[in-house]
Amino acid sequence: MDTYDLLTRNASEVVTDEELRTVAADPEGKRAYVGYEPSGVLHIGHLLTANKLIDLQDAGLEVVVLLADVHAYLNGKGTFEEIRATAEQMKAQFVAYGLDPEQTEFRYGSEFQLDEEYVLDLHTIALETSLNRAKRAMAEIQSGETITVSHVVYPLMQALDIEYLDLDLAVGGLDQRKVHMLAREELPSLGYEVRPAIHTPILGDLETGEGKMSSSGGVTISMEDSREALEEKVNAAFCPPTPDPEGDKVNPVFQLFQYQIFPRVDRVVVERPEKYGGNLEYDGYEGLAGDLESGELHPADAKSALASQLDTLIAPGRERLEELRD
């Protein structure tokens, strides 16, 4: 797989393709980042973007992980001391999951976001950005939560982070698209260059296939899940053999194989008794999805293989989490 294909593998969107091809043509020394608010144990959303970071490292890029402690504070996630403790825990989990510590730079937002130059730039962006534009770029707010001024400042800081971390590429889920568009609109007014962005998919709700799989509501998969918990969650997952004709639902089992498993493994073995045809082997997502849709592969057998593969991927992080808690 060439560098461009590796950078774009499983991406939902690239902004812009021409800019990303420039990065792919000469990846050495290029820096890409994802920002994470330190808010708890890593869950499937973190791990999906972490898979993309691993792709970028395999392509030769340096990866910056922003442990956004100031953002977490603005979002009411605790004191700085509490947030820092969570951030240290998350850092250890990312390394256990597979990020190369030699190619990963972990940064705290408070290392630069409180400096005078940054704060003055933040005020300048605030002057240039309408309230409605900032509100459109805000991260999702939980239903019923009161929106504060800090929530509006949050995306303006995210835009500035791209400059102050000296980046060549930004990565995030599709829910970060409006922030990256805000950065493209406003950074040039400060004399800063725009950077390309890669947006990863949003996983559907595990039980229904509707909306978004979320750690704040519904069922999600996290790095602290035991093998038994994974099996229970995956066995209960929404998994119709054919796509939703109206397009309102996705198959989260399909998605987890496509975006979580096959980027990390070369082969998946689905174990079945001989009386049901024996084991099946797949070297890519398309073959597995095709057999599910045709009926050759039963959803229950696919779920069993998925739970086993997820357990293998998150086991090192789960063990590291247990060590940190002891």
Dump pLDDT digits (tens) for 1-18.
Answer: 899 999 999 999 999 999
Average pLDDT, the chain: 92
Beta bridge pairs of residue 173: 200
Question: Does the predicted TM-score (pTM) go above 0.75?
Answer: yes
Contact 31, 169 (CB under 8 A): yes
**SS3 sequence of 169-227:** EEEEEHHHHHHHHHHHHHHHHHCCCCCCEEEECCCCCCCCCCCCCCCCCCCCCECCCCH
- 66's enclosing H/E stretch is strand 62-67
Contact 35, 94 (CB under 8 A): no
Average pLDDT rounded to a whole number, residues 189-218: 86
N-term to C-term CA, the chain:
42
309: number of CA atoms within 13 Å, CB side?
25
Q: What is the DSSP secondary-structure string of 265-300?
A: -S-EEE---GGGT--EEESSHHHHHHHHHHTSS-HH
pLDDT of res. 310: 97
SS3 call for 109: helix
SS3 call for 105: strand
Please state, in angstroms and rounded to a whole number, the distance separating the CA atoms of residues 52 and 199.
10
Q: Which range (96-100, 124-128, 243-247) has the least confidence?
A: 243-247
Query: How many angstroms separate the Cα of 224 from the Cα of each of 93, 202, 326?
Result: 10, 21, 14
The pairing of strands 197-200 and 13-15 is: antiparallel
Contact 178, 136 (CB under 8 A): yes
Residue ranges covered by each domain of the chain: 3-200, 227-325
Residue 59: pLDDT above 80?
Answer: yes
Residue 140: pLDDT above 60?
Answer: no
Residue among 203, 287, 164, 200 nearest 7 (CA): 200
Average pLDDT rounded to a whole number, residues 271-288: 94
pLDDT of res. 200: 96
pLDDT of res. 104: 97
Assess if CATH 1.10.240.10 describes domain 227-325: yes
Please state, in angstroms and rounded to a whole number, the distance separating the CA atoms of residues 134 and 138.
6
User: Sign of the CA dihedral 86, 102, 318, 213?
Assistant: positive
Return the CATH architecture of domain 3-200.
3-Layer(aba) Sandwich (3.40)
Cβ count near 323 (within 10 Å): 10
Do 3-200 and 227-325 fold alike per CATH? no
